[in-house]
Amino acid sequence: AFLIGIMVVALCWAYGTNCMAAVNPARDFPPRVLAYMVGYGSEVFTYRHFWWIPMFIPHVGGLIGTWLYVLAIEMHIVPERRRDDRIEREMTNLLPLPPRTEKPVV
């Protein structure tokens, strides 16, 4: 994890000459929207066509990571006996509750 952090910091320092790299969409997209509203035009979204990467690629990475987890780990786990059946049997033994014989303490 430390080496990945060092790599991200190095990439931000190397490619983020003006106001850091757009690794976080919350740091990249709102200034573009504000610049568009102020009057800079559609160039804020069309310059180098980079605006969509921090917006959508993390979601694609999450889907790919989930798919890889299911294929590599979850499919190979042998499911133990369903806990729901045991819990349901225990609940039927507990219900119905016997009537309360003591008076509540006030």
Neighbours of 21 (CB within 10 A): 18
Which residues, including other chains, have CB under 8 Å from residue 24's CB and lie 6 or more apart?
54
**pTM score, two decimals?**
0.46
Domain boundaries, the chain: 2-77
Residue 88 has pLDDT above 80, yes or no: no
| Tens-digit pLDDT profile for residues 43-67 | 888 877 777 877 888 889 999 999 9
The mean pLDDT of 85-99, rounded to a whole number, is 68
pLDDT at 15: 72
Give residue 7's identity as a one-letter amino acid code.
M
